[in-house]
Structure 1
Amino acid sequence: MRPRALIVDDEAPAREELRYLLEEVGQVQVVGEATNGEEALLLLRSLDYDLVLLDVRMPGGSGLDVAAALQEHPHRPKVIFTTAYPDHAVEAFDLSAADYLVKPFDADRLRRALDRALTGGAERAEAGERAPEARAGVSEVEPLVRIPVQKDGRTVLVDGASIVYAAADRGYTSLKLADERLLVSFSLNELERRLRGHFFRTHRAYLVNLDHVREMVPDFRGALVLVMNDRQRSRVEVSRRHARELRRRFGM
């Protein structure tokens, strides 16, 4: 039996288009539609759905309000946001959304979102996906999260494991990946809360993924400089205040 899906959107053409795409993809069966947040919660109380496809801006409670209410639902369905507004992605992922689709999107993009929502969690559990164990003395931690980034009019989900380091500079925060740098709307403090585990605050301006440290170079002041394993072999400062704890994390 295919997973049961609920479509929530206040515009009839949008519901029809989404139902058409879901039928084309064929991974779920649509067994309900709601035109606003109030109707959606009423349906969700009367039937256990596996997936909810939520618009954001609607009368009778926004999609974000519905997703927040689902946090306490005994049979919490997966949530995919389908919206014309890209500016709520951060709030959506804070509510554990499986994906955030900005209209218009096609069947292939919807299929990827459904794969992530319906099989991603099971695959991760089966594979035991966690941050890599105790490399250089770093203990096992919780899985890393994905960070939503606006890029070329799209919301791109950046896997925490691919982030080499994050840096704050002149009012901006950037994510340094292996061969590119992306600006994000999060402060460094917010990223530190989201990127737990192998990430370490080396300095007030840097948050480093310890899995990407290539070398540790001491300086004459008792501080450290980290050489990272990105293409540019970036160098990241470690303040004296944090150097001792970092050495401990690496078992030194």
Structure 2
Amino acid sequence: MTDGNDLKILIADDEPLAAERLQMLLARVADVHLVGTAHDGESAVRMAEALLPDLVLLDIAMPGLDGIEVARALSGQGESPAVVFITAFDQFAVAAFDVAAIDYLMKPVDAERLTRSIERARAYLRTRAETPAEKAPAPASPWLEEFWASDLSGLVRIASRDIDRVTAERDYMRLHVAKRSWLIHHSMSALEEGLNPELFVRLHRSAIVRRDFISGFTRNASGRWIARLADGNEQPVGRLYADQVRAIAGR
């Protein structure tokens, strides 16, 4: 970082007005230094290699290399910058699962949300600097560890381990976390394959439940299994998934 704690920031956005808005918002933030503005993906990669920013505010929809491709290119650098995605389209969130972004902001960018993202980037960079270089990175998990879902303020990161249950709604899946829920564009079969089977179990063609969120099972008048959940709700068990009940109960 320049000047002690100054955070070096590179903007990459092909929309002049959007880039100008980010510049104006950054002018109000303390201890940041704008090192440049790129207007396409290729320029963003070249400028990042030359200017070595700490943080890149990266538009996703750009000509040539898009933001996802730029982030992948930057991750190959020795000391790669932190990345905050700027987007007008929430459907890019699923495609960005494998990119280590610090945050996602929806256009038009809110000043307070931008400030929070910058502070998150500072914390990330401090933690990375304090991590011993010789420490081997943890092996990548084969399971989905997180999701990004639309929120009024932008996109929200949801850790898989925090999800109580997943229910299907037409072409979307609803992720239930405590008293809140979010819709994501995904398929139930893909989620069943992607979620760790040691943590989650499919009980119905339209429902996946975290195993430790199940408090018990009962049968209804027709003999169908019903899962009792920790929040007091009940989840019918599909006939095709009755074996799951026996497996959970050890029978």
The TM-score normalised by the length of structure 2 is: 0.74
Is residue 147–residue 157 contact of structure 2 (8 Å, CA) maintained in 1? yes
Query: Residue type of the partner of 2:23?
Result: R
Which one is further off, 162-171 or 33-42? 162-171
**Alpha-carbon distance in structure 2 between the residues aligned to 1:84 and 1:97:** 16
Question: What number of residue pairs does the alignment pair up?
Answer: 232
Aligned partners of 2:53 and 2:219: how far apart in 1? 58
The aligned counterpart of 1:28 is 32
Q: Pairwise mapping of residues 21-100 of structure 1 onto structure 2 (< 5 A)?
A: 21-100=25-104
In structure 2, what is the Cα distance between the partners aligned to 1:29 and 1:172?
Answer: 41
Check conservation: 1:89, 1:148, Cα contact below 8 A: yes
Residue 157 of structure 1 is matched in structure 2 by 157
Letter of the structure 1 residue corresponding to residue 206 of structure 2: A
Q: Structure 1, residues 162-212: CA drift from partner, whole Å, max 9, x if none?
A: 421002354442222323443321222333455447631233433222343
Mapped pair 1:191 → 2:195: no
Match of 2:20 in 1: 16
2:111 and 2:18 map into 1 onto residues whose CA distance is 14
Following superposition, the deviation at residue 52 of structure 1 comes to 0.9
- Point out the more displaced range, 163-172 or 77-86: 163-172
Q: Does the Cα contact within 8 Å between 2:218 and 2:228 map onto a contact in 1? A: no
Find the aligned partners of 2:14 and 2:68 in 1 and give their Cα distance: 14
Higher helix fraction: Structure 1 or Structure 2? 1
Q: Structure 1 residue 152: deviation in Å?
A: 5.2
Contact 1:228–1:235 (CA under 8 A) maintained in structure 2: yes
One-letter amino acid of the counterpart of residue 212, structure 1: F
Q: 2 CA distance for matches of 1:242 and 1:64?
A: 38
Per the TM alignment, residue 9 of structure 1 is displaced from its structure 2 partner at its CA by 1.3
TM-score relative to the length of structure 1: 0.74
Is there any run of 5+ residues in structure 1 with no aligned partner, and where?
A: 127-140
Report deviation, 1:110. 0.7
